[in-house]
Amino acid sequence: MVNRFNTAQSIVATRRWISPAIVTLAAMAALTVLTADAAARQGRPATEEVAPREAGEPIMAIVSIKSQHVTFYDADGWILRAPVSTGTTGRETPAGVFAIIEKDKDHHSTLYDDAWMPNMQRITWNGIALHGGPLPGYAASHGCVRMPYDFAERLFDKTWIGMRVIISPDDAAPIEFSHPALFVAKAAETKKVAAAKAASEAKLALEPVSVYISRATKKLYVRRNTHKAWPDGGEVFDATIEVPVTIRNPDKPIGTHVFTAMARKDAGLRWTMVAIDNGDDAKDALDRITIPQDVLDRIAPTALPRSSIIVSDEPLSRETNYRTEFVAVLNNQPQGGFVTRRPTVNVPVASDNGWGDNGFGFFFQRNPDPQAGNMGRPLFQPNWNSQTGNTRQRGQYYNGQYYNQVQRGWW
């Protein structure tokens, strides 16, 4: 009887213990399923992923703010994926088109108490970068894109100065794309161009070309990396071509589309397209643009894999300078981590006052104003908001001051 009584007590106790345990386990399992399902819906990898094939040289990276992940692509598709942590509310990571402009293996922040930012890859001069950092599972940075520490380390030596970095407010991915306006490489013509130019220009013609077409300024800009080292680091980009273009229905949004030549295809190039802002679809956007024939004749024959054409409603960000690829920020998205930062590097930045004799007149010229600090005030002739149909609020920090392009003044 005692044994039966003890056994009965044990059974009751066990049932009392098992019941909440089962409930807890069931709840955990349900939470895991829900979390995994949410991650799957958002397209966010729960862990780092590597493509099951031999990877080529990375051509671009796309960061999704919505899904908190980054994907790197080579000529044949994605090669690396990882979760990230972008800027928190009030310090949001800016959405737009960027490129790697500087790399530092052991970087320490000049803005945030010497914080360690290993394997830093800068994309703006005011401190926005990709780097290794803690990932709590949600947006938590001061504007940078934090990547897993080991992922950032493995990636560091694979990327290159000028590599495109696209930061999208939503999920975006490159899709195969073709259009008559996209350049077709012609090897024979390339040789003719090279033979007709000086040695330095011939070498430049063998570099991938980047073209930016802005509805805001109705201009086309071209640049190539010269691979010439700048004394304080980085490389100098040639930026000697800037011409007007005709855009049909110039008051109508055109969107932001990035076209990239991924590889050679027969006698031409295989292109992809990434869209990150609302407007026309990619085909209609290109159909609306007329590029001067002499510019096409000069650029198209020298187009190579990794060449790109960007079409956007946006003007070039003033982060664009002689040491950057094109930088364009989506001004209809939060920019907290961008506008609240001051430049961490003293370099001239983009204006809209034409080119100088040295090919860098597109950038700010410095005023010898003793009240404006050692660098002087940038001379800027804003005209974006004077154009019909452009109603977005615009403004950015630079040189310690905030410029509001609607108010037309420095604060």
- Same domain for 258 and 140: no
Give a yes or no: residue 116 inside a domain: yes
- Same domain for 345 and 215: yes
- Same domain for 96 and 209: no
Averaged over successive runs of 10 residues, the pLDDT of the chain (411 residues) comes to 44 45 45 42 66 95 97 97 96 96 79 74 90 94 94 94 96 95 68 51 76 96 88 80 95 97 88 94 96 88 91 92 89 88 57 35 34 31 28 32 29 22
- Same domain for 348 and 406: yes
Residue where a domain terminates, one of 168, 199, 220: 168
Give a yes or no: residue 174 inside a domain: no
Instruction: Give how many domains the chain has, as a whole number.
Output: 2
pLDDT at 343: 64
- The torsion angle over the Cα atoms of residues 335, 338, 339 and 340, rounded to 10 degrees, is 120
Owner of token pair 């803690």: 134
- Same domain for 235 and 150: no
- Same domain for 280 and 331: yes
3-class DSSP string for the chain? CHHHHHHHHHHHHHHHHHHHHHHHHHHHHHHHHHHHHHHHHHCCCCCCEECCCCCCCCCEEEEECCCCEEEEEECCEEEEEEECECECCCCCCCCEEEECCEEEEEEECCCCCCCEEEEEEECCCCCCEEEECCCCCCCCECCCEEECHHHHHHHHCCCCCCCEEEEECCCCCCEEECCCCCCCCCHHHHHHHHHHCCHHHHHHCCCCCEEEEECCCCEEEEEEEEEEECCCCCEEEEEEEEEECEECCCCCCCCEEEEEEEEEECCEEEEEEEEEECCCCHHHHHHCEECCHHHHHHHHHHCCCCCEEEEECCCCCCCCCCCCCCCEECCCCCCHHHHCCCCCCCCCCECCCCCCCCCCCCECEECCCHHHCCCCCEECCCCHHHCCCCCCCCEEEECCEEEECCCCEEC
Give a yes or no: residue 11 inside a domain: no
pLDDT at 404: 34
- Same domain for 203 and 159: no
Residue 165 forms beta bridges with which residues?
Answer: 61, 98
Give a yes or no: residue 40 inside a domain: no
- Same domain for 207 and 83: no
Give a yes or no: residue 123 inside a domain: yes
Closest Cα partner for 99 from 71, 69, 126, 122?
A: 122
- Same domain for 376 and 258: yes
- Same domain for 359 and 239: yes
pLDDT at 40: 37
Give a yes or no: residue 8 inside a domain: no
The enclosing domain of 74 has a CATH number of 2.40.440.10
Give a yes or no: residue 335 inside a domain: yes
Closest Cα partner for 284 from 275, 292, 293, 296?
A: 275
* Distance (Å, whole) CA 36 – CA 44: 9
- Same domain for 225 and 99: no
- Same domain for 223 and 159: no
Say if CB 401 and CB 385 are below 8 A apart: no
Strands 246-247 and 289-290: antiparallel
pLDDT at 220: 96
Say if CB 97 and CB 326 are below 8 A apart: yes
Residue 264 forms beta bridges with which residues?
Answer: 269
Say if CB 61 and CB 73 are below 8 A apart: yes
Structural domain including 71 reads 49-168
pLDDT at 377: 32
Give a yes or no: residue 179 inside a domain: no
